[in-house]
Amino acid sequence: MKTTPDDRQKLYVTLASCLLLALAWGLWLWRLDASDLTFDETATYFVAHRPPLEILQYLQRAIREHPPVYYLLIRCWMTLVGASEFSLRAFSVSAGMIALALTGRLGRLIDTRRGDDLMLATSTLIPIALLAVTPGMVFYARDARMYSLGVVWTLLAATLFLRDWLRPAAPPRPRAVAALVAVHALALFTHYYLLFPILIQALALLVARRRRAFAIWCAAHVPPAIFGLIWLALSPGLQMTTDSLVPRLNLHLPTVAQATWMMDRLLFSPIIFERRNLLYGLLALTAAGLLLVLWHRWRAGTWMALMLMLP
């Protein structure tokens, strides 16, 4: 069977992607158990060492706790590989590796120019490399918490949304609808704040004037919304958490200092501070990439811009 130049190019990009993933795997595993568990990581073990039913019962009562998907998954992981510092953090590393692979896939979806070998390579490899060495991603991928898993759900939902909802002119097929709703349910029950990127998708469909797709999106998300409300009704701890947060909601735009502080923590982790020059450089690079996407695919670019405006 003959291979075409396009097939060879895809093979080279795939091999290069695997090499990048292997390097990231080694970087993230290096001295993974060099420190004891932090307070938050200890909370992971405190919750997840229980039987599954007790995990659910505890999370329903606890104030300012997270939803159960991560704890149930890490509970299964602990049963298989143990509960040492290395084992607990290795779960997050594994989720981070999936996130890197999804980043490359998302980059290929965003760049629609076919037949350009250089663009195929850059749209796949550069996003993987940048995410792999971003200090914030390195920190959270080595942290025994749910954050790298949340990145996986966010990227997977973004990939499905771009491929099946924004990209085609026809409305999504039932299988695509079910896949997106399932990922959104997993995301919401991994971290409550992941509700924001979910809602951004509906807004992006409205802006893109995909009215039929918007109607399907809203109808398909009624069951998980009802399930979420039932979980809220059965969770006194979550009710007290929301009651304490609602009065402090601030609908004003954040100040420049507040926005800079938040981006600093996300990009450079909570343990690296005052990297303002590098932060501004990354923001400039992000803005340039966003403008490039808007130029070639305004619907995808608009959705990405809305995602970047999340609180």
Distance in angstroms (rounded) separating the CA atoms of residues 41 and 227:
28
pLDDT in tens, 258-301: 777 777 777 787 777 666 677 777 778 778 877 877 777 777 77
Distance in angstroms (rounded) separating the CA atoms of residues 238 and 61:
7
Q: Tell whether the model's pLDDT for residue 235 goes beyond 70.
A: yes
Distance in angstroms (rounded) separating the CA atoms of residues 61 and 63:
7
Determine, yes or no, domain membership for 247: no
The number of folded domains in the chain is: 1
Q: Tell whether the model's pLDDT for residue 311 goes beyond 60.
A: no
Residue type, 152: V
Neighbours of 307 (CB within 10 A): 16
Which structural domain range is residue 276 located in? 5-239+256-308
Distance in angstroms (rounded) separating the CA atoms of residues 208 and 302:
8
Q: Tell whether the model's pLDDT for residue 67 goes beyond 60.
A: yes
Closest C-alpha among 185, 191, 196 to residue 228: 185
Our measurement of the distance from residue 69's CA atom to the centroid of its chain's CA atoms, rounded to an integer in Å, reads: 14
Determine, yes or no, domain membership for 103: yes
- Contacts from 26-29 at CB under 8 Å and sequence distance 24+? 27/132, 27/133, 27/138, 28/93, 28/96, 28/97, 28/138, 28/141, 28/142, 29/90, 29/93
Determine, yes or no, domain membership for 79: yes
Determine, yes or no, domain membership for 244: no
Which residue carries 């999370």 as its tokens?
59
- pTM assigned to the model: 0.90
Q: What is the pLDDT of residue 274?
A: 60
User: Is residue 169 very low, low, confident or very high in pLDDT (cuts 50, 70, 90)?
Assistant: confident
Q: Tell whether the model's pLDDT for residue 310 goes beyond 70.
A: no
Distance in angstroms (rounded) separating the CA atoms of residues 267 and 282:
9
User: Is residue 244 very low, low, confident or very high in pLDDT (cuts 50, 70, 90)?
Assistant: confident
Determine, yes or no, domain membership for 268: yes
Average pLDDT, the chain: 88
Determine, yes or no, domain membership for 251: no
What helix, strand, coil percent values describe the chain, rounded to 5?
A: 75, 0, 25
Q: What is the pLDDT of residue 129?
A: 93
Angstrom distances, CA of residue 4 to CA of 7, 8, 111, 115, 156? 5, 6, 21, 12, 30
pLDDT in tens, 82-116: 999 999 999 999 999 999 999 999 988 887 655 55
Determine, yes or no, domain membership for 77: yes
Determine, yes or no, domain membership for 66: yes
